[in-house]
Every structure is written in structure tokens, then in C-alpha cells.
Amino acid sequence: MAELAVDVSGLGKRYRVGIGADYTTLREHMSMLFGSRRAVREDEEPRELWALQDVSFSMRQGDVLGIIGRNGAGKSTLLKILARITEPTTGAARIHGRLASLLEVGTGFHEDLTGRENVFLNGVVLGMSRREVQVRFDEIVEFSGVSRFLDMPIKRYSSGMKLRLAFAVAAHLDTEVVVVDEVLAVGDSEFQRRCLGKMSDLQRSGRTVLFVSHDLGTVAQLCPRTIWLAAGKIHADGPTEEVIGAYQQSFGAPEIAARLDRAGGGPVRLDSVRLVTSDGAGLEQLRRGDPFTIELCFTNDETVIGLDVGIYLEDSRGVRPLDEGLSEVVGLDIDLSAPGPHKLLLDVPAPLAAKEYLVGVWLGTRTEDFFDEPALRFEIKPALEDSRDAIGKSRVLHGTGRWRVMSP
Amino acid sequence: MQGKPSAPPEPVSPAEQEPQPEPVGGRTPGGEPARDDPRTAWVVNRAPTARWQGVDLAEAWRYRELAYMLALRTFKLRYRQTFFGIAWALLQPLVALAIFAVIFGRFAKLPADGIPYAVFVFPALCIWTYVSTAVSAASLELVSHQELVTKVYFPRVLAPVSALLPGIVDLVISLSLAGVLMAATGVAPGPAILLLPMWILLSCLVALGSGLWLAALNVRYRDVRHTLPFLLQTWLFVSPVVYSSSLIEDGWLRALYSLNPMVAVIDGLRWSLLDAPAPPAYDLLSGAVTILLVVTGLVYFRASERKFADVI
């Protein structure tokens, strides 16, 4: 049995929100000490926020653990405590050996220093000794691919070059425990592939790795075990497949139903949004070029005359390659006014770039909006035969989707 | 999740409650490293138990290369893309010297222990320039390295410490110019010249002590940034830079005056370099204040250290 490498027990982190939370001026502090305490207490009572609560887990040497969860679930706080950037409020985190975090590539980089100077500075900042940097210097430079510009201030580098250099330094840290946070999401695909290769190397060389990502595909590929953090607590901890499955489920119907309740009042409830194949089977993964269908289930509480549906896809830069309205289609005879459940399908033609998208849904009539929100997030992966930068281009598809109704 | 009644786990002395992991492979998983090798030592980040404790100096020493690299970075950047380059190290005290020599030497005719006024003032100005630059750099260092503090771990005390280093190069350069000045005017040092490094070291401690306090305060209260110029200016005039300590009469006033840590530094420097009268016993007080400043600075710094990443 391998030795214990990471041991986290009863970890909690409380942040105070409101008074005394941020940096203050001396005057504010004085007035809190001597001044009118009552006025303070009345409207702005300091609130507490537990970013992490009662988190315990351990890892043995050579383990690779994925950590997933939505924004604000406590992932970064956990990493910050593991990396000793901040202290926990309760509990303790023990790390056997040295820990390097690839969460902050390029920390300490200075624009006016040359690439060479930055490699040394950054290496030492991340916990290497100058000797160690010296020994690995050639390797680092080669990995980064910026050797020709080493003696140029990095302010003249392109952002891609900076990033590659930064990752190269971080990737050559020789620590026992490595924490990786989302770094793989940057750079061109060729570089991403090299990063992934480096990750597998880490794993093979027996390093203990914590991998935090929104990219469930990569988590599944790299980590046998995954922890799902939700609202600062461990929601699930187990084999990656199970945890990711449960996590993805949580994006389905229940949340949307809950969200509609909050919008409140409308006669139409959105029940679920899913990606399916053209014959309605569930989809695990999408690659560039795969056709897919968006399935929308909703329920009318009463007869809604003139109910119309819109579906759009939006990428992270806000571009909408697809934006379809049911009533815009000429000659389509779909009537959704009847009370009860409805199921609507939209076949999406293939040419979409490989990246993340939000599915936005609008339900309403000419005079009223019942629902208008992003309802689902998904990612299209590069096609298997894709090489280098071929994430592909999205063609704008307005009006090319095919609407279908199915009996729910 | 938010709001008080969300039943957080009781924060009652968590250290006692937490189960110790079983010792594996003969190592000690507690706070103590099994050996000095960082590869096999346990690093623990636990909820703080005591409010007051000192900075872990042994750890800071292990990270000394980082302080060196940060100092090197500051040093390399300081004169990059400047026209005068390293000459700035001389220009600053020289300009001040010209002004002070005219105002205090010529017009006010301040006594200078029988030494030509410019020669008398210049070494003091050099070391004052060093201390004041180092103190303001040290106080602002943590905040100006925010990105480092919030993203990687290192003993935070290294930030103010690294701010003390680059100025030493400037100090050595400007003190050599003081030597030239002395040679030109025929002022020779006595045997006390051997103690010169001690006064430079003492000036580092003065800068460190004040820097630690101000750095820790500056993280919480950004007022420090605004107070600093005023504070330094006052400090300059209560220190024997443009005048001689012998101007102050013995008695309680002299004792009060000697509470200023810079008094011993400058008196000592003049003694070593210019063969001025040896520092009086009062200066021991000044030295003691320096030590006190450093020790309390380390404790206060440590107490605020744990909040830096959250507050900064």
C-alpha cells in the first residue's frame, strides 16, 4: 500500500462578508471601536460565509484525484488551503512533501524582464531552487518553444508565447504533489495536447495529482477518482464515472424546474433540456461534426394560445451560431397551446466549432415571456481526426434547424 | 449557506479534535518534519490555535533564494529603461546634499563637530536615503506583490526582507563617493572604521523593524501609504542627519531623542567613517529600541500574516 500523501480532515473556511471583511481605513476601524455600534448593527450585520465546510479526504502517493463542482462550490478555496496561500478556519490539511500548483502559471512574471530571467524568477517563486531551474533550463525552454526570444523582454511576446513559457516552467516542477487547475483550457490544441501528455507523465512518474476542471471529459480521462464539491461540502466522492454521471444529472430537470419556480407565475414550466441523437437516445459526448438534437420538455398548466419557442446556442464570447424561433419557420404547423406536457425537438445541423456552448431557451407569446434563460451547458470536442488548431469554424445556422414534435 | 444560523462546525479548538493520521512508513505525520528534506517532510496547514506567535525563521531561511530573486528582480528593474541608470544611486543623495549644505551649512551654520559640513552630512544622508527607501519599499512590498501573495505560498516575511536588499548596492556606491569626498577634504577615518559593517547592519535592522510593522499595517489599512511620506520626513528631522547629536543637551531630552533608532546608526557611522566622537551611552537606548522594533515587528507580522491572502 502506498503511503499517505495528502490528508485533509474537517477542513472549513469562513469568510466574513460585510463589515470588517475587506481592507478598511483606519478611520473606519476607529469608528467601529468607539463610534455608533448600533448604527452598524442595524443594517449591515457582518455575515459569515462558509466557503468550505467539513471537508475530509485523503490520497495515497501516486493517486490522481479529480475535483469538480460549479463556480463558487469551494474548489479554489480548497486549493488555496492545500497550497497554504490561506489558512483554514477549522481542521487541517497535511501534505507529504512539496506541493506545486499549476493553478497560477506565470505568477511572478514581469513584463520588463527577459524570458530567461522570468524562467528563473518564476521557478524560484514556485518553489524550485536556482540550481534546479538551471538543471532543467534547456528542457523548459524546449518545451515552451520560445528559445529564439529568450533574451527579449516578455512584454514583446505574444500572449500565447508567455503562456507556453509559464506552463513550461510549472510543468517541470519536481514536486511530490501537483495541483492542476484549468490550465489545460488555454493555448492552441497542439499545446493542449502536449500539456495533457505532460499530465499523463506526471501520473506515470508516481506523482500525486489533484486535478480541478470544468472539463469533465479530461477529468474522466485522467482521474480514476473524483470528488464533487457543492456549496463548500463534499457532495460525492468515488469512482469518476459515477460522480460525473451524478454531477451531469444535476444539470438536468430539477434545477430548471426550480429556476422556473423562482421566475414564478407563468402558465408554462420548462421541465428539461437535453442533447439527444436524432432518434431521441441520450448523448454522452459530442465531437465536431456529430449531428445532434436538442430536446425540450415543458408543461402547460392551462391552454396557452400562441405559445412560441425559441432556442439559441451561445459560445463563451457571446456569439450565437444558432438562433431559431418556432414561429419564424414558414409552413410549419406545430400547435403547442394544449394544456399538459409537450416534447419538442430541434435537429441541429453539424457545422459548429469545437468549444463550449450554452443552450438558451425562450418560451412565450407575442406579448409575454414565460422563460428566457440559458438552460444547459455543453461542449463539442474536437473531432478524432482533427489536428493542430482545427477546432473548426462555426457557420451561422439561423433558420436551418428542423423542428419536430414528439408525444411526451 | 449565508447568514449566521447556518450551523457551522463548532470552531472549538479544532486542533485537539482532529484525528491524527496513522503514521505510515515510519514517518511522523505531525507538524515536525521527519528529516530536513522537504521532499519527505509533512507540511501542515491547520486552523490557528494561538493568537500570538513568532515568524518561523527556520522556514524563512529555507526560502532565502526567493528573497534573493525578488530583490534581484527589483534591482534589475529599478534602472532599466532609465537614462541615468545606476547614477541615480548617487544623484539622489547628492542633490539632497547640495540643498542641505546650502541651507543648513551656509545659512544656518550648524556645527559639524569640526568636520567640513558637506563631508559631515553626506554619509548620514547616504544611510538615511537607504533606510527611508527600504522602509517605504518594505511597507508597500506585500501589497505591490499582491499577485504573488494571493497565488503562491512563501513565507510572507520574505517580502519586506527582500525589499531591504537592493538598496544596499546603492548604499555601497554612495558611501564610496563619501570616501572620495573625504579624501578630497583630508578627513581620515580612525580605527573605528572596522565597525562600519556593524552600522550598516544596524540600519538594515531599523529598516526591517519599521518595515515589518508598516507592511503588516498597510495590508489592513491603506492609510499607511498616505502617512508614509509625512512620517519619513518627520523622521529625517528628528535624526542627526543635517545636525550633530552633540547639539542635544544631556538629560531627559537627550534620552527621549535617543529613542529614535536612527540616532545610533548615524552617530556610529560618523564615528567609524569620520572619526567623529564615539556614540554616547544614550545610543544604547536607540539600539534597544531597534531590537524591540524587530522582535515586535516579527510577532505582529505573523499575527496579520495569516489573513494576508484573504484581506489584501
Of B1, B24, B76, the CB nearest to A113: B76
pTM of the model as a whole: 0.68
Domain ranges of chain B: 85-311
Strand partners, A298: A270, A342
Confidence of residue B312 (pLDDT cuts 50, 70, 90): low
- Using a CB-CB cut-off of 8 Å, the residues of chain B touching A120 are 69
Sheet of strand A47-60, all strands in order from the earlier edge strand to the far edge? A47-60, A4-17, A90-96, B42-46
Q: Is A236 helix (H, G, I), strand (E, B) or coil?
A: strand
Q: How far is B158 from chain A (nearest CA, A)?
A: 11
CA dihedral A274, A276, A280, A284 (to 10 degrees): -110
> Do the beta carbons of residue A296 and residue A362 sit within 8 Å?
no
Q: Establish if B306 touches chain A: CB-CB under 8 angstroms.
A: yes
A337 Cβ neighbours under 8 A, 6+ residues apart:
A300, A303, A304, A305, A306, A307
Q: How many CA atoms lie within 13 A of A244 on its CB side?
A: 23
Query: What CA dihedral angle connects B120, B124, B129 and B135, to 10 degrees?
Result: -160
B113 vs B52: CA distance, rounded Å: 46
Following CA atoms B241, B243, B246, B251 in sequence, which dihedral angle do they give, to the nearest 10 degrees? -80
Å between B296 CA and nearest CA of chain A: 20
Task: Decide if A78 contacts A235 (C-beta within 8 A).
Answer: no
Give percent of chain B with pLDDT exceeding 70.
85
3-state secondary structure of A123: helix
pLDDT at A27: 60
- Per-residue pLDDT, B132: 95
Is A163 within 8 Å of A122 (Cβ atoms)? no
B281 touches chain A (CB under 8 A): no
Mark yes or no for CB contact A85/B151 under 8 Å. yes
User: Quick check: A398 and A390 in contact, CB under 8 A?
Assistant: no
Inform me whether the C-beta atom of residue B223 falls under 8 Å from chain A C-beta atoms.
yes
User: Strand A208-212 relative to strand A47-60: parallel, antiparallel, unpaired?
Assistant: unpaired
Cα(B58)–Cα(B31) distance, integer angstroms: 14
Sort out which chain A residues have CB atoms less than 8 A from B11's CB and list them. Answer: 12, 89-90
Cα A96 → chain centroid: 28
DSSP state, residue A300: E
Q: In this structure, is the dihedral angle defined by the CA atoms of residues B25, B30, B35 and B40, taken in order, positive or negative?
A: positive
Give the containing element (helix H, strand E) for A75: helix A75-82
Does residue A98 or residue B15 have the better pLDDT?
A98
Cβ-defined contact of A95 to B42 (cutoff 8 Å): yes
How far is Cα A381 from Cα A63, in angstroms, rounded to an integer? 27
Query: Nine-digit cell at A274?
Result: 437535453
Interface of B with A in 128-187 (CB under 8 A): 147-154
CA distance A112 to chain B (A): 7
Lookup: cell for B58 = 527556520
Average pLDDT over residues B57-72: 88
> Closest to B309 (Cβ–Cβ): which among A4, A80, A99?
A80
Position B214 pLDDT exceeds 80? yes
Contact state of A88 with B45 under an 8 Å Cβ cutoff: yes
- Chain B positions touching A22 (Cβ under 8 A) are 311
> Which residue segments constitute the domains of chain A, with CATH numbers given?
4-11+52-248 (3.40.50.300), 253-406 (2.70.50.60)
Residue A253 identity: A
Q: Taking the alpha carbons of B233, B237, B239, B242 in that order, is the dihedral positive or negative? A: positive
Question: CB distance A101–B219 less than 8 Å?
Answer: no
Contacts of B14 (CB under 8 A, 6+ apart): A10, A90, A91, A92, B46, B47
H-helix or E-strand spanning residue B71: helix B64-78
Q: Note the pLDDT tens digit of each residue in B202-211.
A: 999 999 999 9
Taking contacts as CB-CB distances below 8 angstroms, the residues of chain A near B24 are 3-4
Give the CA distances from residue B160 to residues A213, A222, B60, B127, B145, in Å, rounded to whole numbers and listed in that order.
35, 41, 12, 18, 10
Q: What is the mean pLDDT of residues B11-31?
A: 38
Render each residue's pLDDT in chain A as its tens digit; 408 residues. 578 899 999 999 988 765 444 445 556 655 555 554 444 444 444 567 888 999 999 999 889 999 988 767 888 889 889 988 888 889 999 998 888 877 666 677 888 889 999 999 888 888 888 898 999 999 999 988 888 899 999 889 887 788 888 888 887 887 888 888 765 555 566 666 777 777 778 778 888 989 887 667 778 888 899 999 988 899 999 998 888 878 876 764 334 443 444 344 578 888 888 888 888 777 777 888 888 899 888 888 888 888 889 998 877 656 778 888 888 777 777 888 889 889 999 998 767 888 778 788 888 887 777 777 777 878 887 776 665 455 666 666 666 778 888 877
- Three-state helix/strand/coil letters over B224-254: HHHHHHHHHHHHHHHCCCCCCHHHCCCCHHH
Task: Tell me the average pLDDT of chain B.
Answer: 82
Number of Cβ within a 10 Å radius of residue A358: 17
Q: Would the CB atoms of B6 and A103 count as touching at under 8 Å? A: no
H or E, element range at B61:
helix B57-62
Complex confidence, ipTM: 0.72
CA distance A319 to A310: 16
- For chain B, list the strands marked E by DSSP: 42-46
Residue to test with chain B: of A60, A124, A229, most B Cβ within 10 A = A124
* Cβ atoms < 10 Å from Cβ of B222: 14
Smallest CA–CA distance, residue A223 to chain B, in Å, is 24
Q: Cite the beta strand spans of B124-193 per DSSP E.
A: none
Q: Choose from A48, A85, A130 for mutation: most chain B CBs within 10 A.
A: A85
What is the distance between the alpha carbons of residues B99 and A170, in angstroms, rounded to a whole number? 51
Contact in structure between A210 and A82 (CB atoms under 8 Å): yes
Identify all chain A residues contacting B14, using CB atoms and an 8 Å cutoff: 10, 90-92
Q: Which of the residues B152, B214, B219, B222 would you substitute to probe the A interface, choosing the one with the greatest number of A C-beta atoms within 10 Å?
A: B152
- Segment B157-175 mean pLDDT: 91
Phi, psi of B55 (to 5 degrees): -70, 140
Tell me which chain B residues have a C-beta less than 8 angstroms from the C-beta of A80.
Answer: 309
Which chain B residues are within 8 Å of A179, Cβ to Cβ?
A: none
Task: Please report which residue ranges of A285-333 form alpha helices under DSSP H.
Answer: none
Q: Which residue of A has its CA nearest to B15?
A: A91
Dist CA A260 CA A270 (whole Å): 7
Mean pLDDT over residues B127-135, rounded? 95
**Contact residues on chain B for A92, CB-CB shorter than 8 A:** 14-15, 18, 44-47
- What does the pLDDT read at residue A94? 92
Average pLDDT over residues B85-104: 84
Chain A contact present for B47, CB below 8 A: yes
Burial class (CB in 10 A: 0-12, 13-18, 19+), A58: middle
Q: Which 3 state secondary structure label does DSSP give A344? A: strand
A111 Cβ neighbours under 8 A, 6+ residues apart: A153, A154, A155
Q: Which residues pair with A4 in a beta bridge?
A: A60
B140 or B17, higher pLDDT: B140
Contact: B18, A81; criterion CB under 8 Å: no
Specify the long-range contacts of residues A277-284, CB closer than 8 Å, at least 24 apart. A278/A347, A280/A345, A280/A406
Mean pLDDT over B118-145 rounds to 90
pLDDT at position B273, please?
Answer: 92
- Containing H/E element for A311? strand A308-315
CB contact under 8 A, A94 and B42: yes
> Are A85 and B41 inside 8 Å of each other by CB?
no
